[in-house]
Amino acid sequence: MLRRSLMLLAVFLNLGAAALGQTYTQNAQAIVKAGGGIMANNPTFTGTLTGPTVVAGSAPIFSGPLTSQTYGSPAINVSSQFWGIGSGSKFPTSGTDQFPSIGIGSYSLANYTALGAETTCTGALSCQFLTTGSLDTAFGMHALGSETVANNNVAIGNDALRDAITNGGSVTAVGQGAGAHGNNSRGIFIGQTAGQGYSSAVLLTGTITAGNTVTLGLTNGGSTIVTNLPYSYTYTVQGGDTLASIANTLCSNLNSKQIQGPSYQVSCGAINLQSSGYLLQLAWPGTQSVGWQLTPSASTAQGTGGSNTLSAALINGTQFQGGTIVGAFAAAYPTASLIQNATCIGDSACSTIGGNSITAIGFNALNSVQNGFGDTATGTGAGYATTTGQYDVYMGINAGTAVTTGSTNTIVGGIAAPNMTTQSDDVVVGFWAGNGLSTGSGNNTVVGARSLYVATTAANNSVFGHGILQTTFTGSGAVFIGSGAKTVEPVSSSSVGEINVENVYRNYSSTPAITSGQAIGTFPTITGGGSHVFKAVVGVSPTGTTETLTFSAAANGWYCKADDITTSTNTAKVTGSTATSVTLTWSGTPTASDVILHMCDAY
């Protein structure tokens, strides 16, 4: 037994048949190639081997060219080797194998003919149809299973790049089903089904009307012989149907027809895109234009229904050009055929991707993007619902999570602008900032945690500070600066150099109260309370010289200036200040009905 094992090891290392010093006998096929490898099933060795021998039998296990490459000193012979039923079965039996290839697994590299190409494929049916590609690496069952001539691909994991045609090569896919379908080039796909794509797809949308019909068809548009084509199936919508039941019925019927080609059966899977409908993913080696080149069709009709309320839109096969897709189910259900320069990192990031130059980092970031351009999202759920926006930026957990079609928004902060849907040109920065933005024309700038918290239709406003506008506000063109503002009163605009501030709303307190002092009498009338400037009309029986006003709490204290515009000789100055009050001392005593203007600021 030991002697037999050693002999087998010598064969595997391709040391050359004559070097074994044994006679090769086998009930199955065996081809001993001088200076090269051996093709055999379950070999046994007896006696002395004096030259090449052929013994009748069945499929090969090892093979190698007649002339192998010699390296180093002492010389080491290296040539291509194949292990498995059908593995390397078309590999040349003559020529120079300068840079050897390795195939391990049943039908691995079964059609390979390239000498000196340094391709390594491990796993049943891995690189099965590869013929002349070079520098390809595959590990896993069906890995790189349909590619024929591309170079520099890496496929690791069962079904990685399984039915993809890599448009020249330079694609890296790691993970079960990563990059498995479509026509990709220069992409990186890492994670289960990352960038999986499809050969073609049908997007089913609309509402249910009993009697409408949906037709799905498939014909052979290429040179590959595929059985059970042409295919056509029409389904009549029933009263209790949903988009889900229609999509699943269509796929179930197609899958039952066993439309088959070499080593593969056409398949259909229904994917729920939530509010965007159902995606029927069709899969075969290649797309309409490469590989099998099948031609799908899809249509809807009124049938016996009152009107046709369904739509079945055909989408060409997925083509990723460039980009980096990392994470389970990242960019796994594309809704557009051409996707360029996408970077999607995180579980389900860019899951239904369509468009170009998309960047999403985080679980479910830009999960629903279908026709975007230049969108960037960082954080779990950031930009989750965005479908067709352009040049949007979302940063923070669930930032802008409900925005669907708005564009050129910048939303930064955890749960920032969580209810905003269709507005554009908004800038929202801060935790839960812009919570109240839901409808309106946009163009708001909100900076500060929980600012503009309950506004609904605000537009063209600028808000700076923590907690500003936590009461309903529907105005436009306002500027708020400060913290804790709740009510508003307009003040004049101002301009400083190149900085213009117009229609400024300043809010520092609730209506001030006069709590002590008799300088302006009892029962004074206060107008414009809560604003930067307010008016007090002196009440009855003014007798004292002091006046104390109370406000909501300031960070440090309050300052007020007061002018008696009825009796100009009466003046006041601040003689006391706290976080909630100001004391004024008057020179002269105002008389009843005098009008006194106060201007107060917090500090």
- The DSSP secondary structure of 129-175, one letter per residue, reads T--S--S-EEESTTTT-S--S-BS-EEESTTTTSS-B-TTB--EEES
What span, in angstroms and rounded, lies between the C-alpha atoms of 461 and 444? 5
Q: Is 543 in the same domain as 494?
A: no
- At 4, phi and psi to the nearest 5? -60, -45
Do 210 and 282 share a structural domain?
A: yes
Phi-psi region of 70 (alpha: psi -120 to 50; beta: other; left: phi over 0): beta
pLDDT at 72: 52
Of 255, 280, 315, the domain-final residue: 315
Instruction: Count how many residues are written for the chain.
Output: 603
The reported pLDDT for the residue numbered 171 is 94
Rounded-to-10 torsion of CA 505, 511, 512, 514: 150
* 518 and 446 in a common domain: no
Cα distance between residue 158 and residue 348, in whole Å: 20
Q: Which H or E run contains 12?
A: helix 2-12
Q: What is the pTM of this model?
A: 0.71
Is position 104 within any domain? no
447 falls within a domain: yes
Do 476 and 415 lie in one domain? The reply is yes
Number of domains in the chain: 3
Following CA atoms 35, 38, 39, 40 in sequence, which dihedral angle do they give, to the nearest 10 degrees?
Answer: 160
What is the structure's pLDDT at 79?
75
Residues 206 and 292 both lie in one domain: yes
Could you tell me if 412 and 379 are in contact, meaning their C-beta atoms sit under 8 angstroms apart? Answer: no
pLDDT attached to residue 488 = 39
C-alpha 179/C-alpha 182 separation (Å) is 8
What residues contact 245, with CB distance under 8 A and at least 6 apart? none
pLDDT of residue 290: 87
The domain boundary residue, chosen from 470, 485, 507: 507
pLDDT confidence of residue 520: 67
Domain assignment present for 141: no
Domain-located, residue 556: yes
Token couple for 248:
């699943």
d(CA 505, CA 220): 69
Same domain for 521 and 476? no
Do 545 and 497 reside in the same domain of the chain?
A: no
The CA–CA distances, whole Å, from 270 to 198, 203, 230, 246, 460 equal: 12, 10, 21, 10, 43
What's the burial of 599, exposed, middle or buried (CB within 10 Å: 0-12/13-18/19+)? middle
- Residue 25 Cα distances to 6, 34, 36, 58, 238, angstroms: 16, 16, 18, 13, 68
125 burial type by CB count under 10 A (0-12 exposed, 13-18 middle, 19+ buried): buried
- The strand ranges marked E within 449-565 are 462-464, 479-481, 494-496, 499-501, 504-505, 513-516, 525-527, 533-537, 546-550, 558-564
**Residue 562's domain spans which residues?**
513-602
Domain boundary residue among 293, 315, 337?
315
Looking at the structure, tell me whether residues 421 and 442 fall in a common domain. Answer: yes
Pairing type for strands 533-537 and 525-527 reads antiparallel
Instruction: Quickly list DSSP for 164-183.
Output: -B-TTB--EEESTTTT-SSB
Cα-to-chain-centroid distance, residue 369: 7
Tell whether 459 is covered by a domain. yes
Residue range 481-498, pLDDT digits in tens: 766 544 333 333 332 222
**pLDDT confidence of residue 363:** 95
On whether both 496 and 523 belong to a single domain, the answer is: no
| DSSP-H helix ranges across 373-529 | none
DSSP category for residue 274: G
Nearest to 371 by CA among 405, 402, 348, 396: 405
Residue 591 inside a domain? The answer is yes
Q: Which of 44, 43, 40, 54 is nearest to 87 (CA)?
A: 40
Does any domain span residue 298? yes
- Which helix (H) or strand (E) segment holds residue 201: the answer is strand 200-206
Q: Do 571 and 596 contact (CB within 8 A), yes or no?
A: no
* Cα three-residue angle 236-237-238, rounded to 5 degrees: 115
298, 218: one domain: yes
Q: Which helix (H) or strand (E) holds 11?
A: helix 2-12
Q: Are residues 260 and 205 in the same domain?
A: yes
The β-bridge partners of 597 are 535, 563
Q: Establish if 174 belongs to a structural domain.
A: no
205 and 310 belong to one structural domain: yes
The DSSP code for 357 is: S
In this prediction, the residues of the chain whose per-residue pLDDT falls under 70 are 1-78, 222-224, 441, 482-524, 527-532
Torsions phi, psi for 93 (to 5 deg): -100, 10
Nearest in space to 67 (alpha carbons), one of 100, 24, 108:
100
